[in-house]
Amino acid sequence: MSKLERGRRADAKRKANPARAWYKLKAWCGPAGRRMTQLRAEPTCRFHRLELGAIVPATTVDHVIPHRGDEDLFWRGELQSLCGPCHDRHKQREELEGFSRGVGEDGFPTDPRHPFRSA
């Protein structure tokens, strides 16, 4: 199965998830909701800031640990602010592959889950 097909299947699975309705609740998306509270606390993209040293406005609030329909994790889990491209590309790839592709100044992968680290 190609990477593109895996991505399409994952998207279809996410869209069929009843937990998606939580993102429309006032407690999440309202002016005093969890999303806006997170964006006010961390207004810049965490990936850009930590991995690239760049300041880019955040537009998306991401669950650090994917909640996968777990209501407690959705409402109480750790959040991070990301820009749209980082969330839609880097974070989604990380979830599909199981590791981050980020590298440190030495050129080696920073994620201990990266296959290079198990060699």
Q: Which residues contact 108 (CB under 8 A, 6 or more apart)?
A: 116
pLDDT by residue (tens digit) across 41-86? 999 999 888 877 889 999 999 998 888 889 999 999 999 999 999 8
**Do the Cβ atoms of 102 and 109 come closer than 8 Å?**
yes
Checking if the pLDDT of 91 tops 80, the result is: no
Map out the domains of the chain as residue ranges.
41-100
**Residue type at position 68:** R
- Is pTM beyond 0.85? Reply is no
